[in-house]
């Protein structure tokens, strides 16, 4: 499948989200025309003001799970980056996560088939949640060949009684599997690539007016740095197996996955490495809490291997130091840093 090139028009779904705003920005800076879907005019107007570009426009899709939700939005575009999906661990009924994730993903692919004959490639934002398996030992190396069957099974067997993390992970697994199944059965003229990031750090661009409404990953950083000294349990500070990626690298992965011909039909882990929360505190100067300085060094982690993204997409992932510092700086710029 030929690469997409600027000034092609790209539809970015869920355009007001933490990752999606950076995806839009990255496409615009590369010369693309971007059409974003948002749930309300106020969210769209925020983006218009943020980007200040005549190459950005938005359309309102208030419920991605509705039949035909994207039928109008896809018309006339050359490529699609589908980022819209819920990310939180608070669901009681797992279907409140699974239904919009699966229906939104399958729905947009059906809308493309029906109304967007010019589309050549679709990139879906998935997650390492669709890859990992919490029953595997610490030190496991995951690749794009791995699938998270465990969380799906947990939700099937336990329903509302499943752990919150399993509900979320099942939603990402089932949504991505549904996307690949749709391609397999429909044999469309376009091809598919997925981006599978772990915990996403980095500066905030999206609209958020209160730290209580931060996206899940940055909210975790906020909570750790605002904890009083000694308040965060040692088990939390030294919890292994957390991998991170910078949001700017995730956005770049979406761009490259559209542009690189060889990316079609591929999954890509987009990950910068492993860390624990103590490592993050070690990077930040006082007055941030100190925790147990240096205690995270030498900790064994499971790793999400991003060699494929490095090789095919040509991404040199940002370091933990840069990403953690820029996440904190982004919070401070909003007035949400730790007071001296």
**pLDDT for 2:** 61
Residue-wise pLDDT tens digits, 196-206: 999 999 999 99
Answer yes or no: is pLDDT of 121 > 80.
yes
For the segment 123-139, the average pLDDT, to the nearest whole number, is: 97
- Looking at the whole model, is its pTM more than 0.75? yes
Residue-wise pLDDT tens digits, 204-258: 999 999 999 999 899 999 999 999 999 999 999 999 999 999 999 999 999 999 9
**pLDDT for 1:** 55
Coil vs helix vs strand at 273:
strand
For the segment 66-71, the average pLDDT, to the nearest whole number, is: 95
- The band of 91, judged by pLDDT with boundaries at 50, 70 and 90, is confident
- The band of 92, judged by pLDDT with boundaries at 50, 70 and 90, is confident
Answer yes or no: is pLDDT of 135 > 90.
yes
Answer yes or no: is pLDDT of 188 > 70.
yes
Give the range among 84-98, 177-191, 218-232 with minimum mean pLDDT.
84-98
Residue scoring higher pLDDT (168 or 54): 54
Buried b (16+ CB within 10 A) or exposed e, 322-332: bbbbbbbebbe
Query: What percent of the chain is modeled with pLDDT above 90?
Result: 93
Across the chain, mean pLDDT equals: 96
Give me the sign of the Cα torsion angle 50, 53, 55, 59.
positive
Answer yes or no: is pLDDT of 74 > 90.
yes
Could you give all domains of the chain from N- to C-terminal order, each with its CATH number?
9-203+245-272+303-317 (3.40.50.720)
For the segment 159-183, the average pLDDT, to the nearest whole number, is: 95
> What is 211-244 written as a DSSP string?
GGG--HHHHHHHHHHHSPTTTS-HHHHT---EEE
Query: What percent of the chain is modeled with pLDDT above 70?
Result: 98
Answer yes or no: is pLDDT of 84 > 80.
yes
Cα–Cα distance measured from residue 174 to residue 307, given in angstroms and rounded to the nearest whole number: 25
Rg over CA atoms, the chain: 19
**pLDDT for 50:** 98
User: N- to C-terminal Cα distance for the chain?
Assistant: 54
Task: Please choose, from the candidates 292, 307, 318, 269, the residue with its C-alpha nearest in 3D space to the C-alpha of residue 146.
Answer: 269
The arrangement of strands across the sheet holding 79-82 comes to 56-60, 33-38, 9-13, 79-82, 121-125, 191-196, 267-269
DSSP assignment letter at 33 = E
* Contact criterion met (CB below 8 Å) for 240 and 276: yes
Residue scoring higher pLDDT (47 or 168): 47
Task: Please choose, from the candidates 23, 12, 14, the residue with its C-alpha nearest in 3D space to the C-alpha of residue 77.
Answer: 12
- The band of 86, judged by pLDDT with boundaries at 50, 70 and 90, is low
Q: What tokens does 26 get?
A: 């990255």
The arrangement of strands across the sheet holding 273-275 comes to 199-201, 242-246, 273-275
């Amino acid at each position: 499948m030929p690469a997409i090139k600027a000034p092609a028009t790209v539809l970015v779904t869920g355009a007001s989200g933490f990752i999606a705003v950076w995806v839009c920005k990255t496409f615009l800076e590369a010369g693309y025309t971007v059409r974003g879907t948002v749930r309300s005019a106020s969210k769209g107007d925020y983006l218009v003001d943020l980007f200040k570009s005549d190459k950005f426009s938005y359309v309102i899709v208030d419920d991605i799970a509705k039949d035909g939700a994207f039928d109008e939005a896809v018309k006339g575009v050359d490529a699609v980056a589908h980022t819209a999906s819920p990310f939180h661990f608070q669901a009681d009924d797992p279907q409140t996560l699974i239904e919009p994730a699966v229906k939104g993903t399958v729905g947009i692919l059906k809308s493309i088939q029906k109304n967007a004959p010019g589309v050549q490639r679709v990139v879906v934002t998935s997650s390492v949640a669709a890859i990992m398996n919490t029953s595997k030992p610490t030190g496991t190396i995951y690749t794009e060949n791995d699938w998270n069957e465990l969380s799906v099974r947990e939700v099937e067997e336990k329903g509302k009684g499943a752990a919150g993390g399993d509900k979320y992970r099942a939603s990402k697994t089932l949504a991505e599997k549904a996307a690949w199944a749709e391609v397999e059965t429909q044999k469309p003229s376009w091809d598919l690539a997925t981006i599978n990031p772990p915990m996403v750090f980095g500066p905030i661009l999206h609209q958020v007016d209160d730290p209580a409404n931060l996206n899940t990953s940055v909210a975790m950083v906020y909570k750790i740095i605002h904890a009083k000294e000694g308040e965060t349990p040692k088990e939390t500070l030294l919890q292994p197996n957390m991998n991170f990626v910078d949001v700017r690298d995730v956005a770049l992965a979406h761009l490259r996955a559209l542009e690189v011909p060889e990316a079609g039909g591929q999954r890509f882990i987009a990950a910068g490495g492993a860390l624990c929360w103590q490592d993050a505190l070690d990077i930040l100067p006082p007055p941030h809490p100190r925790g147990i300085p240096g205690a995270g060094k030498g900790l064994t982690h499971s790793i999400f291997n991003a060699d494929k993204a490095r090789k095919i997409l040509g991404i040199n992932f940002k370091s933990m130091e840069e990403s953690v510092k820029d996440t904190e700086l982004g919070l401070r710029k909003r007035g949400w840093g730790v007071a001296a």
